[in-house]
Homo-oligomer: A and B are copies of this chain.
């Protein structure tokens, strides 16, 4: 078994998934949103988590889909809130249909995500539903914090890291924990995997912040500097603001105050120049590496799993760390 085998199993299961039929205004957007693609990282983590402990990793297949359906629900509702016109190059649901359809289709996706967990064996059902619910609420908390930060004058780096932990990382952690428990992991081993996943999630989001500025536009698939143009309080910006001298601070605030399309390119250049002076790229890469090393520590600490199977997870994590898009 290698990564592509698990990916193929997931693709097949996703293609077979039924969400409902009528009214079609409710269910067509779900199919649309689920078929937009994406890396399917979360359900892959669930399968790899199970595979660490059992050959019968397929026991985790439906629960893995629950995580993916829930993740896509969050994208659908987040896109309404962010008024995002595109997702993976296609019109978002609230644009292709309308915001009401997007709200309601998203609501049903939460219900369908829960349903995909109900075949979990009775001995684990309650515990894993609780953990799923806790994680789901945390993801919503993270999204609320992210929205709050847009209008807050000062956001500290710990606050920012806590926000991305909730919004992004806990679901990756849960995806692994879920698979591990379904595969028969002890609570201790499952917890190490949860922490591995959370670390990878944090590193993954920081990598996203980094690629926005230092990515290659063609590979990254988005316009480089989008976060800078919108003035988003990313790890890069917050670190720069914290480390800047008076002149650099003035430059940052000057450009952050300019929001016309004509100034966008100069804004990206000027702010990136300050980032370069302050070695923000190196500092962000250092933090990513710290999370990655902590993740590997937790992966090593897992007792009851063969090294060869751990290597698959390590490989996936490395891919995520080194990704250019």
Using CB atoms and an 8 Å cutoff, list the residues of chain A in contact with chain B.
20, 22-23, 25-26, 77, 80-81, 100-101, 103-104, 106-108, 110-112, 114-115, 118, 122, 125-126, 129-130, 133, 136-137, 140-141, 143-145, 147-148
Contact = CB atoms under 8 A, between A and B. Distances in A.
Contacts of A25: 144, 147-148
A146 to B, nearest CB: 10
Copies of this protein chain in the complex: 2
16 contacts: A20-B141, A23-B144, A26-B140, A80-B100, A101-B144, A103-B103, A104-B143, A106-B107, A107-B107, A111-B136, A111-B140, A112-B137, A114-B129, A114-B133, A118-B133, A122-B122
A8 B22 CA distance: 40
A125 B104 CA distance: 26
Contact of A115 (B103, B111, B133): B133
Closest 6 CB pairs of A and B: A81-B100, A26-B144, A111-B136, A23-B144, A108-B140, A115-B133
B104 A107 contact: no
Contact of A103 (B77, B111, B114): B77
Contacts of A80: 100, 103
B110 A118 contact: no
A132 to B, nearest CB: 9
Given A22-B141, A148-B23, A104 B81 contact: yes
A77 B100 CA distance: 9
A145 B130 CA distance: 32
Contacts of A111: 110, 133, 136-137, 140
Contact of A141 (B23, B143, B145): B23
A80 B141 CA distance: 20
A20 B145 CA distance: 14
A59 to B, nearest CB: 16
A230 B77 CA distance: 29
Given A118-B126, A148-B25, A81 B108 contact: no
A141 to B, nearest CB: 6
Contacts of A104: 77, 81, 140, 143-144, 147
A140 to B, nearest CB: 5
A130 to B, nearest CB: 6
A106 B144 CA distance: 12
A103 B102 CA distance: 11
Given A104-B140, A125-B126, 7 more contacts: A25-B147, A26-B141, A77-B104, A80-B100, A107-B110, A118-B130, A129-B129
A136 B126 CA distance: 20
